[in-house]
Amino acid sequence: MSEGSYLLALDQGTSSSRAIVFERGGRLVAQAQAEFTQHFPQSGWVEHDLEEIWQTQLGTAQAALRQAGLQARDVAAIGITNQRETTCLWDRRTGQPLHRAIVWQDRRTEPLCQQLRAEGLTARLRERTGLVVDPYFSGTKLAWLLDHLPGARAAAERGELAFGTVDSWLLWRLTGGRVHASDASNAARTLLFDIHRDAWDDTLLQRLQIPAALLPAVHPSAHRYGETDAALFGAPIPITGVAGDQQAALFGQACFRHGLAKNTYGTGCFMLLATGAEARDSQVGLLTTRAAQAGATPLFALEGSVFIGGAVVQWLRDGLGAIRASGDVEALAASVSDSGGVCFVPAFAGLGAPYWDANARGAIVGLSRGSTVAHIARAALESIALQSTVLLQAMNADAARAGTQSVQELRVDGGACVNNLLMQLQADLLGIPVLRPRVVETTAWGAAALAGLGVGLYGGLDELESLWQVERRFEPGCSRDAAAERMARWEQAVRQARTV
């Protein structure tokens, strides 16, 4: 392969930083991964050390290139994808963070969100940002930092500070502080960005007392953002792709056409339905968000977010001690034919779409004397599929109202999609085929593909669509009546979790 035809994806996630090298055709060449510390200062608070994020991300990028035997000149471009709503604030002059990053899972700003709702701002925020008023998003987290860090607001007004989601932080560090930018898919998750006008919203900034000088420039996802400092990789490498992790996964799944949907099974679960140039409003609690933007035209998607997806398996391992490794859950769950009536609602951080209940708490219901840890493990896996089914049902309800076709298949990715039992459970509940691609690292691949477009390595979306291939297709294997009965039991359990 000729020089400059590889792509390096930086995939900065909630629990680890990863770097993956892809060939032009999408084949994974090398990868490196490093976990970093999760900080829980008090109940409901989650933080990350920004310097640790930077060091792990840089270290994995350098390690992946070494593993692939590549130098900077071999890499056509870098693409960045990131945990989205996590909020970063740093000093422009020194580059030092003012505080640990406040993670998307963090619930500390619920009192401010309650105040915004009480002021009747829910409809206005929904209309402009496509979002609901919830601590999930970055805007109230940034307001909290400005309110609680001595002198921060005054420094922000003087233009001395920079805010961004994790992509902006990495861009800043990779370019030696020369670039303060983000893409539309990340900006759309801040509760501060008008997704229709493609601009930061002055009214929203004023209400939260956030100085505009803090904010990054916003560009399309495929865009020439800048170059890395030569010292980092031996020579500068163009950075030409940026997208939030879920929009990158939608792009990596080649969901370029209206009506195609994907679900990512990671720490949480995130289902996105491409709606093209139409910003479709949801009547059932889904979010209207910007999709990864390959050209000048803004693109949109409907999104549903499950806060606790694969993280429930981590809880089985670390909290309950039911398994030694996350990969052991499939065999344990498969050792029983069903959950024995046990239903597990993993609302450890409240419930996301379509419930949006920050006060819900985890609950295991339906226990009997015959219940075993295997039944609980099976119920935990089922909870991931059940929550995702609720999201797809909501999308189909919105589609029916809009007079468009329901989702005909679901493309899946993320770490937990390799669990065959979970994927079969998902197909059974949905009643449509579940398609797992050959390249399951679709988030990283989406970032790499955007970077390839941004640097001219690909001719267009048709070429990228031809690279997407199915590895396994899971067909529904249970009756619709049986699936409906399981969904009814789930909703009953959710009602109990919301009254804890």
Structural domains in the chain, sorted by start: 6-245 (3.30.420.40)
Tell me the pLDDT tens digit for each residue of 236-281.
Answer: 999 999 999 999 999 999 999 888 999 999 888 999 999 988 888 8
Tokens of 472: 């396994």
DSSP 321: -
Q: How far apart are CA 76 and CA 306, in angstroms?
A: 35
| pLDDT > 60? residue 378 | yes
pLDDT of residue 15: 85
- pLDDT > 90 in the chain, percent: 72
**All residues at 6 or more sequence positions from 305 whose CB lies less than 8 Å from its CB, including other chains:** 136, 268, 269, 270, 287, 352, 353
Instruction: Output the average pLDDT for the chain.
Output: 92
Handedness of CA 135, 138, 141, 143 (dihedral sign): negative
Residue 2 has pLDDT above 70, yes or no: no
pLDDT tens, 316-353? 898 888 888 888 888 898 899 888 899 999 988 788 88
> What element of type H or E holds 88?
strand 88-91
Q: Are 423 and 412 in contact (CB under 8 A)?
A: yes
Per-residue pLDDT tens for 184-212? 999 999 999 999 999 999 988 999 999 99
Residue 387 has pLDDT above 70, yes or no: yes
* Percent of the chain as helix, strand, coil, to the nearest 5: 40, 25, 40
User: Residue 57's pLDDT is what?
Assistant: 98
For CA atoms 112, 115, 117, 121, the dihedral sign is negative
Residue 403 has pLDDT above 80, yes or no: no
The yes-or-no verdict on residue 402 having pLDDT over 80 is no
Query: Mutual orientation of helices 110-118 and 138-148 as an angle, nearest 10°?
Result: 110
Is pTM beyond 0.75? Reply is yes
pLDDT score of 1: 37
The pLDDT, as a whole number, for residue 323 is: 86
Residue 3 banded pLDDT, cuts 50, 70, 90: low
Band of pLDDT at residue 440, cut at 50, 70 and 90: confident
Per-residue confidence (pLDDT) for residue 171, from 0 to 100: 98
At 138 the pLDDT is 95
